[in-house]
Amino acid sequence: MPLSMVREGEPNVIHKVGGKEETKRFLENLGFVTGGVVTVVSQIGGNLIVNVKEARVAIGRDMANKIMVG
Amino acid sequence: MSVKIALAGNPNCGKTTLFNALTGSNQFVGNWPGVTVEKKEGRLKGNKDVVIMDLPGIYSLSPYTLEEVVARNYLINERPDAIINIVDGTNIERNLYLSTQLIELGIPVLMAVNMMDIVEKSGDKINISKLSERLGCEVTTISALKGTGIMKAAERAVALANAKKAAPKVHKFAVKVENVLTAVEDKLGSDIPEEQKRFFAVKLLEKDDKIGEQMKKVPDVSAEIEMLEKEMDDDTESIITNERYVYISSIIGECYTKAGKETLTVSDKIDKIVTNRWLALPIFAVVMIIVYAVSVTTVGTWATDWANDGVFGDGWSLFGLEIPGIPVLVEGALEAIGCADWLMGLILDGIVAGVGAVLGFVPQMLVLFIFLAFLEACGYMARVAFIMDRIFRKFGLSGKSFIPMLIGSGCGVPGVMASRTIENDRDRKMTIMTTTFVPCGAKLPIIALIAGALFGGAWWVAPSAYFVGIAAIICSGIILKKTKMFAGDPAPFVMELPAYHMPTAGNVLRSMWERGWSFMKKAGTIILLSTIVLWFLMSFGWMDGSFGMLEAEELDYSILAALGGVFAPLFAPLGWGDWKMAVAAITGLIAKENVVGTIGILFGVAEVAEDGAEIWEQLAASMSAVAAYSFLVFNLLCAPCFAAMGAIKREMNNIKWFWFAIGYQTVLAYAVSLCVYQIGMLCSAGAFGIGTVVAFLLVIGFIYLLFRPYKESTTLKVDMKKAAMGIK
């Protein structure tokens, strides 16, 4: 399921990062890689704050929809 | 012999703090030529031969952001003698991703693990010698904030630079990848130095479309890419990225021991409250009200009054001691040396008054900059962007645009300058162009004048002015984001939120001073020049057949009045074709509060109150309410004062963009005022003419621009040539 559907506080493993090439690369550089763990810290109006590789990253809803976790 | 050391690391890893601590006041701050990425260069404290370059914060050496392109071009072309790679010890895994790439550049690397005090406090352990062994570069620990270990780090970096020995390549990719990489390395031309071959080979495999511009001859590696992609069933760039993270995970496993079970960090706990879906906006509102109240109204007003009426006015008192103002001192000095009248006029009414009016805002700006620096350094600014982003994104601005606009309601100059905090180029330019639409403090007297003289002090005039400003921002945002200039760079919202921490007083003050000083330099150059020109136009003219200097009351005869006569017909369709109003609008360019004073002089009253109460009747007799409102709207939206224009020019960092911004503001102001007047006249007096038709056409055109469909571009354009040139 997409990251935007995940419940707060639950660690999830990333299956796939989709989206435009540039954005995908940028996300990978930030630590969103297949097999990595991501946890949603909080969300506001669809935008998320997630914890990935010990860093807090804010991402928009449209991006969160393209990160598949399971 | 001088040694060049580059500081490289992720954003928010403490790079700038380290840079400040290493260089002290020996800094040169500018922009990388051709781009608005800040460039900071300095010399090491106590060793002037060591030049330290602060590279922009980056996550990778990929070509996806301007910062990355600037940083990697510098590293490839300039080849610093050593790199200090700052790594956030509390977030070592993600930080090492960049490190693995820096090491491949073939430049000696010293890794400085920062925030060691926090790591130790949490009880985590980092095995430094093991880390060094596994990465193949020297590693040291520092705390940039506390200043521990930093000089030792610098000394070791200098020693590395002098030894000129690049880090050995310890990292091996998986066998399959390694074989392909070696094959690509062999294909590289002799123009690539041996130690850089790994970097270029990796970039070629990653299909990096900008690396070719750095090479004389680009070998064809499509066969290798195809083979690898088939074999690993993934695209090459993802293969390389995954390889790096696998390698990093293995290092972390060996070198990093976590103290206890996974618990929420302090930052996470703060974020749970500050970015909470219910509390975020109220907390944000409270913070902004405090910033606004202190820097724009209470302390700010006091500081501005002190500077304008005291230092640049009649004088002020310090504990009962009367200190004369600068104009008084200058006047005294000039009189003492028997200076000519015209020169005294130039110096006092032109230079001192003009530049003083601008410098008068400096104390207020400094107060504001302290707040901004604090909010930025403690990490809250990034959250503001997050909270406001969804609202501002709708009309083409970013969440960070809110701060410049809030500040702009006090004074447009610091408002425009606050746009510096917006990293995205498009969002920043858009913010710079629209910030001055917010009515600033100096525009309030104009509002008071029009409301008092023609609307009997109606309550709705002032709020409507703010409404016009906000509507102009929203509509401009929507219109501009659909134009070609702002297309490209879709900029999805992805940003790292730094950990909260208490900034040091030194860093906050330094950041405040950097911004304040750059403004003062501007006041000394471009603003100085323009005030002299305007003073000349205002104080000279033809009277009784001869050209000469005029008294203030004789402004009617000045060159400016003549110019006003030329421009006046231009404003006739707006309802105020009287040359007096045209001149008033022009003097508004020096400072908006001049508009009221000028109207006063032109209507024969030498000194008017701030809201011009003395001339209300005369003004009401000379123009209709609709025309007055059109005049108000024009002054609200048109090009701001010289000080703000100077700020726009500086922040745009590009003369074409500067003129585009000023031109856009003026054209918009003209069009809106025209519509206000013509349609207002149609409704109130039933007047219909060519002007009315033009107004309706403008409205239709405006609606079209607002609602026309557009396609967001999918490519991120980074002007590589320009960025590359900038570095050479």
More confident residue, B35 or A28: A28
- The contacts of residue B37 (CB under 8 Å, 6+ apart) are B31, B56, B66, B67, B70
* Residue B242: closest C-alpha in chain A: A33
What per-residue confidence (pLDDT) applies to A55?
85
User: Nearest CB to A27: which of B494, B499, B715?
Assistant: B494
Range of weakest confidence among A56-70, B139-153, B366-380, B512-526: B512-526
User: Nearest CB to B267: which of A26, A56, A57?
Assistant: A56
* Residue B101: closest C-alpha in chain A: A29
Residue found by looking up tokens 């997050």 in the block: B386
Q: Alpha-carbon distance B458 to B461, whole Å?
A: 6
Give just the sign of the alpha carbon dihedral B187, B193, B194, B197.
negative
Q: Is B61 on the interface with A (CB under 8 A)?
A: no
Q: Which residues from chain B sit within 8 angstroms of residue A52, using beta carbons?
A: 94
Q: Which residues from chain B sit within 8 angstroms of residue A19, using beta carbons?
A: 492
C-alpha closest to that of B498 among B284, B271, B264: B271
Contacts A–B by Cβ distance under 8 A: 114
What per-residue confidence (pLDDT) applies to B167?
67
DSSP letter string, B174-203: -HHHHHHHHHHHHHS-TTS-GGGHHHHHHH
What per-residue confidence (pLDDT) applies to B26?
76
Q: Is B62 on the interface with A (CB under 8 A)?
A: yes
DSSP code of residue B575: T
The pair of three-digit structure tokens given for residue B170, joined into one six-digit string: 């310890």
Q: Could you list the residues of B known to form a binding site, using ranges.
A: 9-16, 20-21, 23-24, 34-38, 54-57, 114-117
Each residue's pLDDT tens digit, B623-682: 888 999 999 999 999 988 888 888 898 888 888 999 999 999 999 999 999 999 999 999
CB contact under 8 A, B59 and A30: yes
Given a contact cutoff of 8 angstroms between Cβ atoms, the answer to whether B531 and B642 are in contact is yes
Q: Which residues from chain B sit within 8 angstroms of residue A55, using beta carbons?
A: 91, 94, 496
More confident residue, B486 or B157: B157
What per-residue confidence (pLDDT) applies to B318?
73
* Disruptive mutation site among B494, B500, B718 for chain A (greatest number of A CBs within 10 Å): B494
Report the pLDDT averaged over residues B592-607: 74
Q: What domains does chain B contain, in order, with CATH numbers?
A: 3-172 (3.40.50.300)
Report the pLDDT averaged over residues B66-74: 86
Edge-to-edge order in the sheet of strand B3-9: B27-31, B38-43, B50-54, B3-9, B82-88, B109-114, B138-141
Distance from CA of A58 to the nearest CA of B (A): 5
Distance from CA of B466 to the nearest CA of A (A): 27
Report the pLDDT averaged over residues B598-606: 72
What per-residue confidence (pLDDT) applies to B724?
43
B674 vs A10, B349, B451, CA distance in Å? 58, 34, 19
pLDDT higher than threshold 70 for residue B552: no
Q: Which residues from chain A sit within 8 angstroms of residue B501, using beta carbons?
A: none
Mean pLDDT (chain B) is 83
Q: Which residues from chain B sit within 8 angstroms of residue A30, using beta carbons?
A: 59, 94, 494, 496
* Disruptive mutation site among B13, B94, B239, B262 for chain A (greatest number of A CBs within 10 Å): B94
C-alpha closest to that of B109 among B49, B59, B169, B149: B169
CB contact under 8 A, A57 and B494: yes
Distance from CA of B722 to the nearest CA of A (A): 20
pLDDT category at B722 given cuts 50, 70, 90 is very low
Each residue's pLDDT tens digit, B196-232: 888 999 999 888 888 888 887 888 888 888 888 888 8
* Residue B280: closest C-alpha in chain A: A44
What per-residue confidence (pLDDT) applies to B87?
95
What per-residue confidence (pLDDT) applies to B85?
96
Q: Is B494 on the interface with A (CB under 8 A)?
A: yes
pLDDT higher than threshold 90 for residue B193: no
Each residue's pLDDT tens digit, B284-316: 889 888 887 887 678 877 887 788 777 877 777
Given a contact cutoff of 8 angstroms between Cβ atoms, the answer to whether B213 and B725 are in contact is no
Predicted ipTM?
Answer: 0.91
* CA atoms in the 13 A half-sphere facing the CB of A2: 14
* Disruptive mutation site among A15, A26, A29 for chain B (greatest number of B CBs within 10 Å): A29
Whole-prediction pTM value? Answer: 0.77
User: Nearest CB to B496: which of A22, A46, A55?
Assistant: A55
* Disruptive mutation site among B247, B250, B496, B711 for chain A (greatest number of A CBs within 10 Å): B496
Distance from CA of B427 to the nearest CA of A (A): 16
pLDDT higher than threshold 50 for residue B723: no
pLDDT higher than threshold 50 for residue B390: yes
CB contact under 8 A, A28 and B238: yes
Give the strand pairing for B82-88 and B109-114: parallel
More confident residue, B660 or B561: B660
Distance from CA of B642 to the nearest CA of A (A): 38
Give the strand pairing for A37-44 and A47-52: antiparallel
What is the CB neighbour count within 10 angstroms for residue B519? 25
Each residue's pLDDT tens digit, B313-346: 777 777 777 777 888 888 888 888 888 877 887 8
CB contact under 8 A, A57 and B495: yes
Each residue's pLDDT tens digit, B237-264: 888 988 899 899 899 888 888 876 556 6
CB contact under 8 A, B276 and A34: no
- The contacts of residue B53 (CB under 8 Å, 6+ apart) are B4, B5, B6, B7, B40, B41, B74, B80
Of all residues in chain B, what percent carry a pLDDT higher than 90?
Answer: 20
CB contact under 8 A, B91 and A53: yes
pLDDT category at B711 given cuts 50, 70, 90 is low
pLDDT higher than threshold 90 for residue B158: yes
Angle at B412 between CA B409 and CA B416, to 5 degrees: 115
Each residue's pLDDT tens digit, B73-103: 899 888 899 999 999 988 888 899 999 999 9
Distance from CA of B695 to the nearest CA of A (A): 39
- The contacts of residue B700 (CB under 8 Å, 6+ apart) are none
Range of weakest confidence among B17-26, B269-278, B341-350, B563-572: B341-350
Q: What domains does chain A contain, in order, with CATH numbers?
A: 3-58 (2.30.30.90)
Distance from CA of A41 to the nearest CA of B (A): 7
Instruction: Identify the three-state secondary structure at position A55.
Output: strand
User: Nearest CB to A30: which of B92, B277, B496?
Assistant: B496
Q: Is B276 on the interface with A (CB under 8 A)?
A: yes
* Residue A33: closest C-alpha in chain B: B242
Which B residues, 71 through 110, put their C-beta within 8 Å of a C-beta on chain A? 90-94, 97
B676 vs B30, B90, B444, B464, B575, CA distance in Å? 43, 58, 20, 13, 9
User: Nearest CB to A49: which of B90, B93, B497?
Assistant: B497
* Disruptive mutation site among A17, A20, A22, A50 for chain B (greatest number of B CBs within 10 Å): A22
**Which residue type sits at B316?**
W
Q: Could you list the residues of B known to form a binding site for Mg(2+), using ranges.
A: 20-21, 23-24
CB contact under 8 A, B277 and A44: yes
Q: Which residues from chain A sit within 8 angstroms of residue B711, using beta carbons?
A: none
CB contact under 8 A, B64 and A25: yes
What per-residue confidence (pLDDT) applies to B720?
42
Report the pLDDT averaged over residues B599-626: 77
Q: Which residues from chain B sit within 8 angstroms of residue A51, using beta carbons?
A: 268
* Residue A59: closest C-alpha in chain B: B494
Each residue's pLDDT tens digit, B111-145: 999 988 888 888 888 999 999 999 989 999 999 88
CB contact under 8 A, B499 and A56: yes
b (16+ CB within 10 A) / e for B573-589: bbbbbbbbbbbbbbbbb
